[in-house]
Amino acid sequence: MVKRPSRFAWASLFYVAGYLLFGGTGLLAAPEAALQALGSTGEYGMVLPRAVGLLMIGLGLIVAQVIRHGVAVLYPTTVAVRCVLLAGLAWLYYLSRDPFFLSVLAIVAAGVVLTSAALAVDFFGGRR
C-alpha cells in the first residue's frame, strides 16, 4: 500500500475532480448541449441527465476533499471504482450503441491510466 504517494498521483486526481465537476455542471445546467458535445445520439429527457449531473458534482466534491486532505489510502480506491464504471459504461454502450458512452468511457479511462501509472511508479519505485 502506498503510504505517501507522489505528487503525480495526487495531481492525477485533479483530472478526475475536473471532469466530474465540469461535466456534472454541464449536465445540470445544459443537458442537451452537454450530451451533444459528447456525441450522444440517444434521447434521455431533461430530468435524468440533470440527476446524473448532480451525482457527478457530489462525487467531484468528494474527490476534491480527498485531494485537499491528501487521503492517500483512498487513491487506489478511486482506481477500483473507476474500473467498475468502465465496465458499466462499456455495457451501456453495448446496449445502446450511443457514442456518448464511448466518449465518457475514454474520459474515465484516461484518468484511470494516469492514476494507475502514478501508483505503479510509487509502488515499484520504492516509495512505499
Q: Where are the domains of the chain?
A: 7-123
Q: Measured on CA atoms in the order 55, 57, 59, 61, is the torsion positive or negative?
A: negative
DSSP secondary structure letters along 14-45 = HHHHHHHHHHHHHHHH-HHHHHHHTT--S--T
Which tens digits make up the pLDDT trace of 55-102? 999 999 999 999 999 898 899 999 999 999 999 999 999 999 999 999
pLDDT at 2 exceeding the cut of 70: no
Distance separating alpha carbons of residues 40 and 44, to the nearest angstrom: 9
pLDDT at 124 exceeding the cut of 90: no
The pTM (predicted TM-score) of the whole model is 0.90
Of the two residues 84 and 5, the one the predictor is more confident about is 84
Average pLDDT of every residue of the chain: 92
pLDDT, position 1: 45
Query: Could you say which DSSP state residue 72 is in?
Result: G
pLDDT, position 3: 58
pLDDT at 126 exceeding the cut of 70: no
